[in-house]
Amino acid sequence: MSRYELRFSGAGGQGLITAGIIMAKAASIYEGKQAVQSQSYGPEARGGASKSEVIISDGPIDYPKVTACDALLAMTQEACNKYSHDLKDGGVLLVDSDLVTTLPKGNFKTVAFPIINTAKNEVGREIVANIVALGAMVALTGQVSRENAEKAVLSSVPEAFLELNKKAFSMGYEKALAAKI
Amino acid sequence: MAKKVAFLQGNEAAAHGAIYAGCNFFAGYPITPSTEVAEVCSLELPKLGGKFIQMEDEIGAMAAILGASLAGSKVLTATSGPGLSLKQELIGYGCIAEIPCVIYNVMRGGPSTGMPTGPSQSDVMAAKWGTHGDHPAILLVPASVQETYEEIIRAFNLSEKYRTPVMVMPDEIVAHMRERIVFPEPGEIEVVPRKAPTVPPEQYKPYDTSFGDVPPLASYGTGYKFHVTGLNKMQDGFPTTKAEIVQAEEERQVRKVNANVDDIVTFEEYLLDDAEVVVIAYGSTSRSARYAVNAAREQGIKAGMFRIKTFWPFPDKQIKALAGKVKGFVTPEMNLGMCTGEVERCAQGKVPVLGIFRVDGEPINPDQIVAKIKEVK
């Protein structure tokens, strides 16, 4: 049975738990697969290490946490150092190239682009950096279709910000495709 | 028509399940990692004509639900370890006064303030022995979001059927994990109503055992007047120290649950038919165990899992029977051996019981369980 494991990691307040929830929702509600999202975080409201894990499968999912990571998003150097150890051979690592400058070595593909700056300068609001990252993760992992992921984004954000999030998602998706090649 | 589905957290599912069961009163003092239950109840209960009260403290919340239950409401409170400790005095009151209520406690690291955001399974003994004195205990330990929804309904049903507090304790992983949930239609899952008195108010006694071990409970405000106390009481609810009454009443209160274990105790048997090593697990740890059992099977080891769904009363009968058939038990849990001790009691020295204990805020991973399975000779 296929089991695909993703981890969204960074600092508390970067919206990574939300990004993980939307990925899992896309898989389980819109893509017709099964998905479990879990998280761990410190007691701080902001800062501190934060991670959100998503398991996607065609069948029932028992263990809800990552055993060997297929795809890792690291939005801080600390998160990259802490969470890249169990990346699988052939897996994929996505980092914010402004914040993660020391890249781990391993038999996986690394994709880097300035995620937060893309949100700030090209989408217009830094706060949607997590959705830019999500768009990129959707493109890099291929676990859910672009359409289903977009549906999940739009059903998860406030109505007043639909266009902003749609733009952020597309920008991340396109950038990752370009960076991948 | 297709059923309604959603992608929810265990805590959110608990609140929705409570509402399905007819809960119309919530009082709590929100605490991590159970806060989402209060959040959903505060949004949903008022829409349905129910009440949500954020109380001044944990024991106040416990007092509020006991009072509301006596007035005929189906009641819920939600808390976590430190809050459970603070509620214990009135949990005992609920047991002796025989007041139906549901206490949802998310297990985080302890004792005391412990590790607020880390998972744990170390409150299972507090569910039985946290409040002093002999008293009945029912504890349900769900392992998924869907099951949390369904088990909280069962908790309400059991609390009404046996007229006693019932606890539901997911660990923090189950409480905060998100999964797809399919909502049952109204009427699809049984909802047990409270047994109302069949006698007029002047003949009513709140502990009238001529109606059996679970006497009907009248609601305040409906014309029935009766006394409620934390003291040992007579059938009319007033205190007594008469030895034969106190002895009989204490025994009845425990018997009403313990004589009905077959109605209350639930469990799942996974690949037990030919199993030589049985992992006994509950909550999120059972999900690691299932993964580990499958992995062990792939390596040619005849492993299986007995998953505890009802922790109290403990599934003594089932585990005693298994102890006569297998080579050993493996008991992973996020505490230092609470369930393991119960399994050892049931194993009666017939087979080894190998515990795996973690209290570092991290889940027990499947590899640890596979390694322990291999230690059983």
Tell whether B43 and B129 lie within a shared domain: yes
B242 shares a domain with B300: no
Total count of residues recorded for chain B = 377
User: Does some domain include residue B164?
Assistant: yes
Residue of A nearest to B113 (CA): A43
Say which of A25, A36, A43 has its CB closest to residue B177: A36
In a domain, B363, yes or no: yes
Task: Tell me the two tokens of residue B12.
Answer: 């959110």
B346 lies in the same domain as B287: yes
For residues B176 and B76, membership in a common domain is answered with yes
Q: Which residues of B touch A34 (CB under 8 A)?
A: 180
Q: Is residue B196 part of a domain?
A: no
A18 touches chain B (CB under 8 A): no
Same domain, B227 and B328: no
Do residues A126 and A164 lie in contact, with contact meaning Cβ atoms separated by under 8 Å? no
Number of domains forming the structure of chain B: 3
- Nearest-by-Cβ selection for B117 from A29, A37, A42: A42
The interface predicted TM-score of the complex, written ipTM, equals 0.93
What CATH number is attached to the domain comprising B291? 3.40.50.920
Q: Do residues B106 and B141 both lie within one domain?
A: yes
Interatomic CA distance for residues A21 and A6, integer angstroms? 11
Question: Is B22 in the same domain as B131?
Answer: yes
Q: Report pLDDT for A41.
A: 73
Output the six-digit token pair for B327. 């080579």
Strand order, beta sheet including B25-28: B51-54, B25-28, B75-80, B101-106, B165-168, B139-140, B310-312
CA distance, residue B236 to nearest chain A CA (Å) = 49
Write the pLDDT tens digit of every residue in B114-150: 999 999 999 999 999 999 999 999 999 999 999 999 9
- Full domain range(s) for residue B332: 266-375
Residue A35 at interface with chain B, using a CB cutoff of 8 Å: yes
Indicate the residue among B262, B285, B313 that finishes a domain: B262
* Enclosing domain of residue A130: 3-180
Torsion of CA B316, B319, B321, B323, to 10 degrees: -130
- Here the CATH number for the domain that contains residue A14 is 3.40.920.10
Q: Which residue of chain A is at minimal alpha-carbon distance from B144?
A: A62
Q: Is the dihedral of CA B243, B246, B248, B250 positive or negative?
A: negative
Among chain B residues, CA nearest to A52: B177
**Residue A1 near chain B (CB below 8 Å):** no
Q: What is the pLDDT of residues B320-337, one digit of tens each?
A: 999 999 999 999 999 999
- Digit-coded pLDDT (tens) for B230-268: 999 999 999 999 999 999 999 999 999 999 999 999 999
Query: Does the beta-carbon distance from A62 to B178 stay under 8 Å?
Result: no
What's the pLDDT at A12?
Answer: 87
| DSSP-derived secondary structure letter, A52 | E
For residue A11 the two structure tokens come to 């600092």
Bridge partners, B8 (sequence order): B179
Number of folded domains that form chain A: 1
Q: Which residues of A touch B118 (CB under 8 A)?
A: 40
Quick one: pLDDT band at residue A8, thresholds 50, 70, 90? very high
B interface test, pick of A30, A34, A57, A62 with most B CB neighbours within 10 Å: A62
Tokens representing B255? 């018997």
pLDDT of residue A44: 65
- Tens of pLDDT, residues B71-127: 999 999 999 999 999 999 999 999 999 999 999 999 999 999 999 999 999 999 999
* Residue A1 and residue A16 in contact, taking contact as beta carbons nearer than 8 Å: no
pLDDT exceeds cutoff 70 at B280 = yes
Closest to A62 (Cβ–Cβ): which among B7, B178, B287?
Answer: B287
Q: Is the peptide bond before B313 cis (omega within 30 degrees of 0)?
A: yes
Both B170 and B93 in one domain: the answer is yes
**In-domain check, residue B237:** yes
Same domain assignment for residues B162 and B239: no
Mean pLDDT, rounded, for A159-164:
96
Q: Do A64 and B180 touch (CB under 8 A)?
A: no
Q: Which residues of A touch B366 (CB under 8 A)?
A: 63, 67
Full 3-state SS string of chain B: CCCCEEEEEHHHHHHHHHHHCCCCEEEECCCCCCHHHHHHHHHHCHHHCCEEEECCCHHHHHHHHHHHHHCCCCEEEEEEHHHHHHHHHHHHHHHHHCCCEEEEEEEEECCCCCEEEEECCCCCCHHHHCCCCCCCCCEECCCCHHHHHHHHHHHHHHHHHHCCEEEECCEHHHHHCEEEEECCCCCCCCCCCCCCCCCCHHHCCCCCHHHCCCCCCCCCCCCCCCCCCCCCECCCCCECCCHHHHHHHHHHHHHHHHCCHHHHCCEEEECCCCCCEEEEECCHHHHHHHHHHHHHHHCCCCEEEEEECEEECCCHHHHHHHHCCCCEEEEEECCCCHHHHHHHHHHCCCCCEEEEECCCCCCCCHHHHHHHHHHCC
User: How confident is the model at residue A181, as a pLDDT?
Assistant: 59
Query: How far is it, in rounded angstroms, from Cα A64 to Cα A20?
Result: 13
| Residues B228 and B350 occupy one common structural domain | no
- Within a 10 A sphere around the Cβ of B264, how many other Cβ atoms? 19
Which CATH number characterizes residue B128's domain? 3.40.50.970
Q: For B163-182, how does the pLDDT look when each residue is reduced to its tens digit (9 = 90+)?
A: 999 999 999 999 999 999 99
User: For A5, phi and psi rounded to 5 degrees?
Assistant: -115, 125
Query: Quick one: B207 and B302 in the same domain?
Result: no
Q: Is the dihedral of CA B180, B84, A49, A161 positive or negative?
A: positive
Same domain, B144 and B75: yes
